[in-house]
Structure 1
């Protein structure tokens, strides 16, 4: 997967870019922003990139009322994945970490299976002492899904005034590792899919 080209979303009417190669968010200078916005409004073919157009999720995975206990093997694997992801995030750029996670899937991916696996992840995650972090948790869940032959899309969202960034995993219309109300204020600026 090519992670060298920055992507953007229209956040409060401003193109906000995410450059995964440098692990940074940025806005354009006023003249450049004006030119890009005019090109986007004209709908004419141009050399300018298009904003990320990612559908908002309609449902979320929840553990409310789920009495199941996690599998010990899941706790061990997820704990090791979280530790590895956090260590790698501290040592390098984000693009280096995720570049190998989005290989094209072999065959169809069944959303109900993905949702069930996400529920298993969340159930086991509750038993781990790691403090929650949207990026580390999303990447660990993605690794867990891929280990079991499933996959999902990694969405990076942002908002302005004040600036905040967030990420989550989504399979079709289903939010896998967050709550709908928590992501509502974030506009997608990058969407990585297999």
Structure 2
């Protein structure tokens, strides 16, 4: 399956359906919205007149139906359903001192970037990191060692619930060492919650299937 922009909606808006409702992610506004399926279908058709006035105002304010609106710098990609966990399939090697130092630098870079950039700019930065990874040549460091190094740093410097910081930091570390990865965002309802994690194809790099399973993917960046 894949997360994609809804019919008639711009590329910076992604959606997914959960329990008869449709959740939207607007990366320019950095906001999630939720609609009943009937209203979402009307929106997808461009039938704005049938929507409630408050919803029409929201759509107009966010320029969802304005084809001339300035677009996002980032773009979404197809999402592969996660089926494997890195921690279950690969030996988690003891990280070297150099890898740990690199992990600390990537974490600092991620903190700085999250603090200073808007959400769309942050996602564009992730894509730029992957572009850099493509030009790095053969990876100079074992990926399992890098992941172990970042997990070591996490224990001292990041709360476990800081999924965006954890994922952005690890993505930067991997890219700096020649490894691409996909940043995936998911949502669930009752209560509403958003989560993100890193994947490489169907392999989860920094989480577990048990943890990400309840979340319906809504957008991915690579």
Pairing partner for 2:187 from 155, 158, 161: 158
Moved >6 Å (runs of 4+): none
How far the C-alpha of 1:72 sits from its partner, in A, is 1.1
How far the C-alpha of 1:38 sits from its partner, in A, is 8.2
Pairing partner for 1:26 from 7, 12, 33: 33
Q: Which has the higher contact order (CA 8 A, sep 6+)?
A: 1
Gaps of 5+ in 2: 1-9, 47-64, 66-76
Q: Is the 8 A contact 2:22 2:37 kept in 1?
A: no
Q: What is the correspondence of 1:25-174 to structure 2 with a 5 Å cutoff?
A: 25-28=32-35, 32-35=39-42, 54-62=79-87, 66=91, 68-103=93-128, 104=131, 106=134, 116-117=142-143, 119-128=144-153, 129-130=156-157, 131-132=159-160, 133-174=162-203
Question: Per the alignment, in what secondary structure is the counterpart of residue 149 of structure 1?
Answer: coil
Q: Distance in 2 between matches of 1:53 and 1:65?
A: 25
Q: Distance in 1 between matches of 2:92 and 2:202?
A: 25
Partner deviation per Cα, 1:123-164 (whole Å, 9 max, x = no partner) = 112332112321111111111121122201111000011011
**TM-score, length-scaled by structure 1:** 0.75
Q: 1:100 to 1:64 in 2, by over 3 A?
A: closer
**TM-score, length-scaled by structure 2:** 0.67
Q: Distance in 2 between matches of 1:126 and 1:153?
A: 18
Q: CA RMSD in A?
A: 3.2
How far the C-alpha of 1:36 sits from its partner, in A, is 5.0
Pairing partner for 1:180 from 209, 213, 220: 209
Q: Is 1:16 paired with 2:23?
A: yes
Q: Distance in 2 between matches of 1:29 and 1:127?
A: 43
Question: Could you tell which deviates more after superposition, 140-149 or 22-31?
Answer: 22-31
How many residues are matched? 175
Q: 1:77 to 1:189 in 2, by over 3 A?
A: same
Question: Could you tell which deviates more after superposition, 163-172 or 80-89?
Answer: 80-89
How far the C-alpha of 1:4 sits from its partner, in A, is 6.1
How far the C-alpha of 1:30 sits from its partner, in A, is 6.9
Question: Per the alignment, in what secondary structure is the counterpart of residue 161 of structure 1?
Answer: coil
Q: Distance in 2 between matches of 1:31 and 1:125?
A: 44
| Max Rg structure | 2
Gaps of 5+ in 1: 40-46
**Which has a greater percent of helix?**
2
